Structure 1
Amino acid sequence: MSANDTTTVLVIGYVWPEPRSSAAGGHMMQILESFLEAGWHITFASPASIGEHKADLRSLGIDEQAIELNNSSFDSFITQLQPDVVLFDRFMMEEQFGWRVEKHCPDALRVLETSDLQSLRDARQQQLKERLKADPDPDDFSELFAPELPQIFQQMSATDLAQREIAAIYRSDLSLMISDVEIGLLTEQFCLPPALLHWCPLMLDAPDAFRSFEQRAHFLSIGNFRHAPNWDAVLWMKTTLWPMIRQQLPSAQLHIYGAYTPPKATALHNPAQGFHVLNWAEDALQVMSAARICLAPLRFGAGIKGKLVDAMLCGTPSITTPIGAEAMHGDLPWPGAVESSAQALARAAVQLYQDSSAWHRAQAAGQALLAARYDRRLHGPALVARIEQCREQLVQHRRDNFTGAMLRHHHHKSTQYMAQWIEAKNRTA
């Protein structure tokens, strides 16, 4: 590639990015912005319907293209585009379109944006269900949060979801991992080559100033209601955690914001209990900046949590679980508290809500954490450099990944024939 050539990128999105609805949408926009800063030309394509909070990609100079599943019109589209890099957003898009990309653009670098390991999140959700079935006590989840990587591997490895997801990682030339804990899980337990993975956390700019302790009030929880861990956290707060906090702070108020609020969530709205379900926040950072404490009592999940990074950006201390804090702070202190039981979470929330000195120490810890792990000026160029390095060494890179080549051979053939059968069936229907 000469210095005058412009790298062409095709992103195949599971959904159209909604940065104000989810951390996954925000992370996708950060990746796109890194590509734009490198001078790359981007086309974003998706088979999904357009959501109400979709980002305006065209205003950024990004082309948009609607595509269809199981339709050869994609073949004509990608043959004409001839991208240098194809980014699959979530492994399901690699499953659907990987064989078409390889067939029509064999020299394009294939990158997978995992967002988080869905198979890990699913395994933890099953563990929670089993724990609640065996012991309905809603308070202490220390044992649930304690398993080491070998135990998590045992839970995941036999599942269909893990086998599909990790096969897609093998088939891709490079997979973007938002969590370094998940990188450890993949390399140490699933034995994936580190050369196939790249740590790409949320990429952020440092904030300027914050509202003071005295200017803030209330507790806040925020997250897309379509995301199962968020909904579970709301239920746990409603039934267990929030009554404990209100017992110690009778006038406390909890404001819960979430995109795509279902009726089952609005039914929990109860101002008399200080429990307010307030639908989608037009500006998440604005409402986070007005809150004194962010509550994120996640009992399962994966990746890193956008709501907790937003809290740091706003100088808002947070109370969460080991699942919430996983992969987010390394060896640095948490900007708030990390606890494993409802009683400990409630105690920490009340103490931090009332203690101005502890609150300011937590706020300062959040700023140190942002600078150490989430600096856009470091991670954006590092992502671009890793992709360029893989492109330059693509032949050898693929030769070293024989397992991926083998999986592509068998999976892509079966997927191709299934897709062609579905397309033919649709034409005759």
Structure 2
Amino acid sequence: MGELDPDLVVFDRFLAEEAYASRVREIKPSAMRVLDMQDMHSLRRHRETNPFPSIPSPSTSTSLVRELASINRSDLSIVCSSVEKALLEMEYKIPGEKLQMGSFFTSPIDKGYDNNHSFNQRKDFISIGGFKHPPNVDSAVWLVEDIWPRISKKIPDAVLNIYGAYPTRKISSLHSPSDNVHVHGFVPSLEEPFLKSRVLLAPLRFGAGVKGKIIDAFRFGCPVVTTKIGSEGIGKENEGWGGAVTSNIDCAEEFADAAVALYNDRDRYESSRASARKILVREFDKTRNLDAIVEAIQGTYEDLERCRERDVFGNILWHSSNRATEYFSRYIELKEKNRREEVDQT
């Protein structure tokens, strides 16, 4: 970093901020430090072992304490979900001026909504997700083992196509053509699978953030059946949703019934597609969302000294007696230096 002179540094998730923020502050203290949260990691981890809608507590979750500390040390944090932004402000008392919404930047794909890709031109179900992500593994296994038999019983000719990079042995073992289940693994583009599929199934039982698979489905005019966790941060229940959201995140029968109803009912299907398009335009417009982030960054940067002066918790965490992350940062830097030297010697 000695050769660089940044005015702004973005940390990709709180682990990067922990590792490098103190060095940034030491070398270029005037540089604005922005944390890109991606999703709220501590919330996702909490939900793996705790029932929805409980939330992690600072008294029991080390991960939460670390994440909140990272947010407080940063000048601005980009949050992808409106639900998580509200949680950080209301429950964990993060000042609103330190948080900026930065969700997906996208728009509907026109041909996903044309007459060549409407109800009658589509068939079968699709499920997608990278399988290095635990919520996606759990979702696929639950879908095939408990939900799909119920769907298949009512729609015997329907096929379930599962896509996603890095399929584990368990995921690959779900492939069963005799049961109309096909595990395809990675595909370079999801355009064709989405355009020919009638419904995306996303039975997520834990996780956080805004789910990219659902946004992608909406872009290509493919309605979605998911859980409250899957729909979190996407639309509002009283304004119409792009498919169906189950009330019980652990009920296979409710999920299957919702999937069958959406798959078979043309009017419900087309209404859901219209709602999906409205959600994309209203909440994920590329120009509007990017402009809001740029404006927030510029506003903080231009008033950075005053923002830091009134940032009580940030100043407390940066006090010399509370800077344990500095030593971690130095360790990371030394480790990387040694690794580079070893590579050069070989």
TM-score (norm 2): 0.91
In structure 1, what residue type is equivalent to 2:292? A
Does the alignment pair 1:360 with 2:270? yes
Does the alignment pair 1:274 with 2:199? no
How many Å separate the matches in 1 of 2:188 and 2:328?
41
Partner of 1:290: 196
How many Å separate the matches in 1 of 2:128 and 2:333?
42
* TM-fit CA distance, 1:352: 1.2
* TM-fit CA distance, 1:421: 6.7
Identity of aligned residues (%): 37
Higher relative CO (Cα under 8 Å, sequence separation at least 6) belongs to 2
The 1:302–1:424 alpha-carbon spacing in structure 2 relative to 1, beyond 3 Å, is closer
Whether the 8 Å CA contact 2:124–2:199 is kept in 1: the answer is yes
- Indicate which of 243, 261, 265 corresponds to 2:171: 265
How many Å separate the matches in 2 of 1:252 and 1:416?
53
Partner of 1:411: 324
The 1:362–1:417 alpha-carbon spacing in structure 2 relative to 1, beyond 3 Å, is closer
* TM-fit CA distance, 1:332: 2.5
How many Å separate the matches in 2 of 1:308 and 1:424?
41
How many Å separate the matches in 1 of 2:60 and 2:89?
17
Whether the 8 Å CA contact 1:285–1:310 is kept in 2: the answer is no
* TM-fit CA distance, 1:391: 0.6
- Indicate which of 307, 330, 335 corresponds to 2:242: 335
> 3-state SS of the aligned residue for 2:119?
coil
Quote the RMSD (CA, aligned, Å).
1.8
In structure 1, what residue type is equivalent to 2:55? I
How many Å separate the matches in 2 of 1:425 and 1:359?
58
> 3-state SS of the aligned residue for 1:81?
coil
Does the alignment pair 1:226 with 2:132? yes
Per-residue deviation, residues 365-421 of structure 1 (Å, max 9, x unmatched): 101111110111101111111111111000011112121122234234333454477
Whether the 8 Å CA contact 1:90–1:113 is kept in 2: the answer is yes
The 1:251–1:86 alpha-carbon spacing in structure 2 relative to 1, beyond 3 Å, is same
How many Å separate the matches in 2 of 1:242 and 1:423?
47
Partner of 1:42: none
Whether the 8 Å CA contact 2:18–2:329 is kept in 1: the answer is no
* TM-fit CA distance, 1:357: 1.3
Map 1:13-412 to 2 at 5 A.
78-127=1-50, 144-145=51-52, 147=53, 151-154=54-57, 157-210=59-112, 211-330=117-236, 331-339=238-246, 340=248, 341-409=251-319, 410-412=323-325
The 1:407–1:358 alpha-carbon spacing in structure 2 relative to 1, beyond 3 Å, is same
Partner of 1:73: none
* TM-fit CA distance, 1:83: 1.2
Whether the 8 Å CA contact 2:23–2:326 is kept in 1: the answer is no
How many Å separate the matches in 1 of 2:337 and 2:295?
42
* TM-fit CA distance, 1:350: 0.8
The 1:416–1:92 alpha-carbon spacing in structure 2 relative to 1, beyond 3 Å, is closer
Per-residue deviation, residues 24-79 of structure 1 (Å, max 9, x unmatched): xxxxxxxxxxxxxxxxxxxxxxxxxxxxxxxxxxxxxxxxxxxxxxxxxxxxxx23
In structure 2, what residue type is equivalent to 1:393? D
In structure 1, what residue type is equivalent to 2:127? S
The 1:212–1:425 alpha-carbon spacing in structure 2 relative to 1, beyond 3 Å, is closer
> 3-state SS of the aligned residue for 1:269?
coil
* TM-fit CA distance, 1:239: 1.4
Q: Which moved further from structure 2: 118-127 or 98-107?
A: 98-107
How many Å separate the matches in 2 of 1:169 and 1:357?
45
How many Å separate the matches in 1 of 2:62 and 2:138?
23
Per-residue deviation, residues 213-256 of structure 1 (Å, max 9, x unmatched): 11111100001000110000011112110011011111211000
How many Å separate the matches in 1 of 2:90 and 2:109?
36
Per-residue deviation, residues 300-359 of structure 1 (Å, max 9, x unmatched): 000010010111101111000001001111352111111122111111111111111111
Partner of 1:72: none
Whether the 8 Å CA contact 2:129–2:136 is kept in 1: the answer is yes
* TM-fit CA distance, 1:360: 0.5
> 3-state SS of the aligned residue for 2:313?
helix
Per-residue deviation, residues 67-126 of structure 1 (Å, max 9, x unmatched): xxxxxxxxxxx2322111111011111111111111111111100110000100000001
Whether the 8 Å CA contact 1:206–1:375 is kept in 2: the answer is no
* TM-fit CA distance, 1:293: 0.3
Whether the 8 Å CA contact 1:179–1:327 is kept in 2: the answer is yes
